[in-house]
Structure 1
Amino acid sequence: MMKSLYSVFFLSCFLISSHALRAQDAVELKSPDGKLVFSMVIAKNEAPVYTITHKGRPVILPSTLGVSGWEEGVTLNGKNYTSCDTLWEPVYGERGVVRNRYHQLSLSFKNKQLDELSLEVRAYNE
């Protein structure tokens, strides 16, 4: 019964936050397999708010970046999407070759004092 209540609570929070994300401009980053999704709302003159979902289920509910004193009057200056798919050989470990595959989102912000902040977000298959 408790598990069912928790599921309903998190689903409700996700649906409410999803509706809020659609109502404003948002940036989104998905892992290569599409199961992990990072979304960030950047409303003018407000703190950026992000969420993370895995297979459609909320992992992190709507949260601010937590940079106190900086987030007032924030605007998004730029965004850049990149991807990486490389192999590397560890010195030791269980595998001789490790695949490094992710999608990356680089965001640049300014606040009302014109202080700048860069944020790098990577989404891997997990």
Structure 2
Amino acid sequence: MTPHNELRLLPWSGPDGKPCFLSTADSNSHLSRLADNTEAIQLDLAAELLDHASEVLGDKEAAPEELRALTEDLAESLRDTLRVAESRGHRLPLPGLDTHGNDARGPTLPAATFG
């Protein structure tokens, strides 16, 4: 697989809140595995939070404070999930390229061929 971005966006931020990136060709390195595990935990927590949100929203007597806390947790979880999606999307191969970076789409026909 040929990624279209050599830097991997990590699932955590630096001390100043800026994104952290990893540059490695080894997807099995210690830091790569740590990032993979962190992403898996974040996605599992998001699924659990979604179940909890369904319960709270189904409770017609939920207190405003509980709804506010839920909203804050959902926003944080959505931020994490979007970061995981962005990181994984950047590591996908470019469309139409084989594993060596060659055009794998084959020959193309002009649109006029199809009327």
TM-score normalised by L of structure 2? 0.28
* Higher helix proportion: 2
* Higher strand proportion: 1
Larger Rg belongs to: 2
Q: Give the number of the structure with larger relative contact order, counting CA–CA contacts within 8 Å between residues 6 or more apart.
A: 2
TM-score normalised by L of structure 1? 0.26
